Every structure is written in structure tokens, then in C-alpha cells.
Structure 1
Amino acid sequence: MSEAELIFTALAELSTRQIAESVDATGMTANSAAAKSGGRIARKARLELEEQTGRKVVSADNLKPPASKRLKP
């Protein structure tokens, strides 16, 4: 992953955790809502950066090669 991808992932995780703590989320439904809110925050920040710089944040560096190209044991 690129540095920017790691930073935006950390922002999403931090936002999610803080939202869940602030609403005292318990259970799947409440934590899912907190995760969606945290993800929206990171997405908005990523899109704004991409708009300002004209460069994409998400790269292909973190993708596995297709199954046909992976080495088999």
C-alpha cells in the first residue's frame, strides 16, 4: 500500500473507533453504523485530496496477481 492509502485507512479506523466510543456503540448494528460513518469521513477526505492534486490515492500495489499468475506450491 502507498503511504496515502495507509493514512486514509488509519483515518477511517480512528474515525470509526471514536464515533463508536462517543455513541457507546454495542452490538453489530451500532458498530456497523459507526463504521459506515467513519468510512464516509475518510472517503470524503480522499476524494478532496484527489480533486486537489489530480492524482489517485488508491494504487494497484496492494492487489494480489490473478490466480493464474500466482505460483502454486
Structure 2
Amino acid sequence: MKTQNLRDHMSEAELIFTALAELSTRQIAEAEMAKGVIENAKAGKKGGTVAKNARKELESKTGKSVITEENFLPPAKDKKKLK
């Protein structure tokens, strides 16, 4: 997907859990005063785990998977000029 935004292919729930992972990661990194790649990677793992646990909890309550193909956009058309 070089010509399209990955988020255009996500459902509302997928976007929300992605945002939760990003927010959690940032706040954990700030709280731990993470510096450098290694410390920030650790914060990223923790932030991802927060979103993972929330997603799994929702899926267990609804019986439905958050991951879906419903918002998948078709591939972009080639912009080559016809001769």
C-alpha cells in the first residue's frame, strides 16, 4: 500500500484501539521518562499490551472480533496515461 493510508483500511474499532495503543505508549514513556530506543521500545510494548488487553476484553464481551475486512478499500488505480 504505497499510495493509500493504512488507516483508510481500518474499521472504527481498529482505529480506536490503535489510538489507545499510541496514547498509552506516549503516556507510559513520559511517566517513565524513557530516553533512547531501548527504553521507548519497552514503553511501546507496555502501551501495546494495554490496547491488546482492552481489545480482548471487548471481544470476550461481544463475541465478535475487532479485526475485520469490512473497511478494506480497493487498490488505487494505476495513474499511467493510456496511449
TM-score interval for Structure 1 and Structure 2 normalised by the shorter chain? 0.7 to 0.9
Structure having the higher Rg: 2
Q: How has the CA–CA distance of structure 1 residues 23 and 52 changed in structure 2, closer, same or farther, with 3 Å as cutoff?
A: same
Say which structure is richer in helix.
1
**RMSD value over aligned CA atoms?**
1.7
State the TM-score, normalizing by the size of structure 2: 0.74
C-alpha spacing 1:64/1:12, structure 2 compared with 1 (3 Å): farther
Unaligned runs of 5+ in 2: 1-9
User: What is the count of residue pairs matched by the alignment?
Assistant: 69
Q: 2:66 aligns with which of 49, 57, 60?
A: 57
Identity %: 57
The answer for unaligned runs of 5 or more in structure 1 is none
Where does structure 1 differ by over 3 angstroms across 4 or more consecutive aligned residues?
A: 61-65, 70-73
TM-score (norm 1): 0.83
